[in-house]
Structure formats: C-alpha cells, structure tokens
Amino acid sequence: MRKMFFISIFEYKMQMRRIATWGVFITATTITLLDNFPSASNLARLEFLSQPNYFVCRAMSLNGLILVFGLMFLLSNRFHVDHKAGVKSLFMAAPIQKGQYIGGKLFAGFLYTLTIIILFLVLNTTAYAIFSPIKSGVAEYLMPLGKTIVVSAIPVSFFISFCAIAIPAVVDIRLFYFAISVVFIINAATVGSAEKMPFYLITAGDLIKLIWQRPKWPFNDMTSIAANLMFLIGCGLLSWLLILCKRKFWRAE
C-alpha cells in the first residue's frame, strides 16, 4: 500500500503542475461564468437561474462536459508516457508489483480529476453567490455544491480517470481518441429533458436529476438513475480489469 501511495503522490503532483491542466480549467470556468453568470440578461434567459441548485446542476451537466473531456485527453496514454520517459523503468527497478503500479496511477488520476472538478464547482458557485442579486444563506449554496460533488463529481471522476488511463494501454491510442471524440459529440448533441435520458451520458445523465429537477415535471425513475451510475462505475472498473489482465504489460509477463 505504501508503494502504491508513493506512485500516486508522484503522479498527482506531476499532473497538477501541468500548464495544460490549468488551461483547460480556466477555459471551462470562463465559459461557465459567461453562460451562467447571474446578470440581468442571463436571469431573464434562464428561468431557474436564481436557484442555487439549478446553477450548480447546470454548471456540472453542461459546462462541466468541456472540463471532463479536456481532462480525459490530458490523462490518456499515461503508461506509454512513463515507458517513453523512463519513469516506468525506475519504478520497475524497485520491488513494486504490477497491481501496485497500476493502482497508484489510477488512484492518482482519480484524485487529480476530482480535485479539478471540485475546484471548478467551488469557484463557479462562489462567483455565483457573490454576484447573485438574490441573496441566500450560506447553506443554500453549500448544500447543492456538496450534493453535486458526491452524486456527480465522484462517479464522473472515477469514469474519466480510469477509462482515460487504462484503455489506451490496451488499445491503440488513435482508436481511443476517436472513440472519446464520438462520445463527446454524442453527449454535447443530446438535449436535456425532464424525461428519461440515455444511460451513457456522462455529466448530463439522469444521475444529475438527484440535484435538481423541473418543478412541474418531477422525475422518479430510480432504475434509470441507477443505470447511469452503473455505467460510470462499471466502465471504470472494466477498464481497470482490462489492463490488469493484459499480458506482457509488466516485466516479462
């Protein structure tokens, strides 16, 4: 466990220091503020923007999509980069097992993704709370923020990090880039609805409806919500199993 933790800390620090990380973060945050800033025009354009629950839900489901796919590209091909830069050889020189190395990389990717998403949500919610003409108590902002982190940010981070790190080690990186580009287009092109949404949506699936729903059309299909959650967690676990089972990935296997 200590060796896996060491690998995780090394990887996490490296990712957080990348300029590209903060470029993606700033871009996604700027777009979110422009789209959801509580100005008079936006409040008139978006019927429920005065509600903190709606704001956080919209920021995560719509604008958060840009952030998570940007992070997915940044995390992809990490094992190949380690091999090319000689980092993997350094780890292999120590008595580290295959599972510890893979687990350390995946755990670091999860923490990295979750950290950036939380910072994204906190910064946008803080700006919304400061400039909103409708002043509410602190709890009115903290409750939906915390709920979004638990309900959406954690499973989305698990999906993004595990898939982005593990799958390119199993398939050709070009095929992976093509696949996630298609997934991004499908997610971006899908229009939100109070009805049942496709289970394969990443940030805008029915799971996000646990945070906010349209008052006139309550959604109570827990089967659809569970399917969305199972898709995010299941794809992450499957990616992990695929790389664990890959032969010739570690030493002389």
**CA separation, residue 234 to residues 45, 205, 237 (Å):** 37, 15, 5
How many Cα atoms occupy the beta-carbon half-sphere of 210 within 13 Å?
20
Q: Is 251 left (phi over 0), alpha (psi -120 to 50) or beta?
A: left
For the chain (length 253 residues), average pLDDT per consecutive 10?
76 88 94 89 86 91 92 83 58 66 88 96 93 79 93 95 89 88 89 80 89 80 90 93 73 49
The residue ranges of DSSP E strands in the chain, in sequence order, are none
- Indicate the Cα dihedral angle 136, 153, 181, 191, nearest 10°: -50
pLDDT at 233: 95
Kindly tell me the number of DSSP H helices and DSSP E strands found in the chain: 12, 0
pLDDT at 158: 96
Q: Whole-angstrom Cα distance, residue 146 to residue 199?
A: 23
Q: Whole-angstrom Cα distance, residue 53 to residue 147?
A: 9
pLDDT at 253: 47
